[in-house]
């Protein structure tokens, strides 16, 4: 295909805008159709807002740590400050302002490279035409390449309908006028765990309803155990092996909402002031005209693609959460870049999930890359596993860090690093050298031989690798 083709991208989230940058760089005429705003849910209602909220909660946790470091915080009268208080409206306004600022930065960058952005909803007429509806106006866009990057939205259950005031999805929490007195978080996956701890850190009483034996059931079990222990130590109530049956608003005799009641499948009822539903997401693929064009989808509604983001229809690609491949902004962005490189004739490597690093923004954070211990055990692989507690690190002692570890999975014999987990504050920054080791198939000796700063948390990465050095 001539690189100077016409590319229409439906959705301006990470998968969409990153694809647009690549396509524009390769000389294509690029148009993004976006309904809600550039950056999509990742920037406007999900990833960026939630991590900003979490950063505020982390800051408050640091204040709580001050006395252990020998720092007394006192008010103007000289009395000790026992607790910091979060002004939630101001916190939420900062969250939303930051999200809009990031969206504006994306818009400026797209404008710099000549990408056209059209507000509105898109519908495929055929594999070469996208119809855009904005208000009462409709127009058809001809396309040589179409990329679908429409994302996903929170899953809603018939027995737990969000009202935006007492029963909330993770996209609705930034409208709260005051800190919940008692927040019941339903779902202990990544979103539920992150936001449960965020509101705990901001000062709310939090109950986490988890249907599994352990929170974060999809993650490394050693890491999840640390997080659950931290949750309970800090005062969170964790209800394990508890599944929600229904959630409803409680009202007084005058009909005024006073709280919520979460009914569990075993008959127990948990009462609180607010409920946050974090029970998964659904792809936003309805109404796109996929079936009419021949784009195949799974029963869940996710668009089926191959490793270079091609759908079942020639010239139509898909990226991001609407594909169900891996719900990470970094993966969506990579899928979008790969799609454009493939469609426009540039050099391309198929998507490899074996080297994707992911992070859970709890406190401490959990970062992981490569082979997990669960997968290694399931496949019966011969590996060496090493865990080094972070509490032994001198820099961790200085910073008052007591929870966390570094974990490596290495091939027995060769010592090739197959996977790793870091549980620590800012683990999202510490995982990068482990990702490089996995991606380039370094062995533990090569990783351990690199110099690290002393004292530093990265020193534990080298030390954990050093402990897996083969002696026979």
The number of helix segments (H) and strand segments (E) in the chain equals 14, 23
How big is the CA angle at 216 (ends 350 and 466), to the nearest 5 degrees? 70
Q: How far apart are CA 347 and CA 345, in angstroms?
A: 7
- The pLDDT assigned to 82 comes to 67
State how far the Cα of 93 lies from the Cα of 174, in Å rounded to an integer: 8
Alpha helix locations (H) across 66-131? 88-112
Question: For position 329, what pLDDT does the model report?
Answer: 97
Cis peptide before 218 (omega within 30 of 0): no
User: What are the strands of the beta sheet with 137-142, ordered from one edge?
Assistant: 121-126, 129-134, 137-142
Rounded to an integer, what is the distance from CA 187 to the centroid of its chain? 15
Q: What is the chain's length?
A: 472
Domains of the chain: 6-154+283-353 (3.50.50.60), 167-279 (3.50.50.60), 364-466 (3.30.390.30)
Structure token pair of residue 407: 């974990």
- Tell me if residue 360 falls in helix, strand or coil: strand
Angle at 32 between CA 31 and CA 33, to 5 degrees: 120
* pLDDT by 10s per residue, the chain, length 472: 444 699 999 999 999 999 999 999 999 999 999 999 999 999 999 999 999 999 999 988 888 888 888 888 887 888 877 677 899 999 999 999 999 999 999 999 999 999 999 999 999 999 999 999 999 999 999 999 999 999 999 999 999 999 999 999 999 999 999 999 999 999 999 999 999 999 999 999 999 999 999 999 999 999 999 999 999 999 999 999 999 999 999 999 999 999 999 999 999 999 999 999 999 999 999 999 999 999 999 999 999 999 999 999 999 999 999 999 999 999 999 999 999 999 999 999 999 999 999 999 999 999 999 999 999 999 999 999 999 999 999 999 999 999 999 999 999 999 999 999 999 999 999 999 999 999 999 999 999 999 999 999 999 999 999 999 988 7
């Amino acid at each position: 295909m001539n690189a100077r083709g016409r590319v229409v991208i439906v959705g301006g989230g990470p998968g969409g805008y990153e694809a647009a940058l690549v396509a524009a760089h390769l000389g294509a005429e690029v148009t993004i159709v976006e309904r809600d705003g550039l950056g999509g849910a990742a920037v406007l209602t999900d990833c960026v807002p939630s991590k900003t909220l979490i950063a505020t909660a982390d800051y408050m946790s640091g204040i709580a740590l001050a006395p252990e470091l020998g720092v007394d915080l006192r008010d103007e009268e000289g009395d000790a400050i026992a607790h910091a208080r979060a002004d939630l409206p101001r916190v939420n306004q900062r969250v939303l302002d930051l999200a809009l600022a990031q969206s504006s930065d994306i818009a400026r960058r797209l404008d710099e490279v000549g990408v056209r952005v059209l507000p509105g909803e898109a519908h495929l007429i055929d594999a070469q035409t996208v119809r855009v509806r904005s208000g009462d106006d409709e127009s058809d866009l001809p396309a040589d390449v179409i990329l679908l990057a429409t994302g996903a939205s929170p899953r809603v259950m018939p027995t737990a309908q969000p009202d935006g005031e007492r029963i909330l999805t993770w996209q609705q929490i930034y409208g709260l006028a005051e800190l919940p007195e008692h927040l019941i978080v339903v779902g202990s996956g990544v979103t539920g765990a992150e936001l449960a701890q965020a509101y705990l850190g901001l000062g709310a009483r939090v109950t986490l309803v988890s249907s599994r034996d352990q929170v974060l059931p999809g993650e490394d079990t050693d890491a999840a155990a640390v997080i659950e222990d931290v949750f309970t130590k800090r005062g969170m109530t964790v209800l394990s092996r508890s599944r929600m049956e229904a959630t409803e608003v409680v009202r007084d005799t005058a009909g005024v909402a006073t709280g919520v009641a979460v009914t569990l499948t075993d008959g127990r009822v948990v009462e609180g002031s607010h409920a946050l539903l974090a029970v998964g997401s659904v792809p936003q693929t309805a109404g796109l005209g996929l079936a009419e064009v021949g784009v195949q989808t799974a029963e869940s509604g996710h668009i089926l693609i191959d490793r270079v983001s091609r759908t079942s229809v020639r010239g139509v690609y898909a990226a991001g959460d609407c594909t169900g491949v891996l719900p990470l902004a970094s993966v969506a962005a990579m899928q979008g870049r790969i799609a454009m490189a493939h469609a426009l004739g540039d050099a391309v490597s198929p998507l490899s999930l074996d080297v994707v690093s992911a992070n859970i923004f709890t406190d401490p954070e959990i970062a992981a890359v490569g082979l997990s211990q669960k997968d290694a055990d399931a496949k019966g692989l011969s590996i060496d596993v090493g865990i080094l507690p972070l509490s032994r690190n001198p820099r961790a002692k200085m910073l008052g860090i007591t929870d966390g570890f570094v974990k490596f999975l290495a091939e027995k014999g060769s010592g090739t690093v197959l996977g790793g987990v870091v549980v620590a504050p800012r683990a999202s920054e510490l995982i990068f050298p482990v990702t490089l080791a996995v991606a380039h198939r370094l062995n533990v000796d090569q990783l351990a031989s690199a110099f690290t700063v002393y004292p530093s948390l990265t020193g534990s990465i080298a030390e954990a690798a050093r402990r897996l050095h083969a002696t026979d």
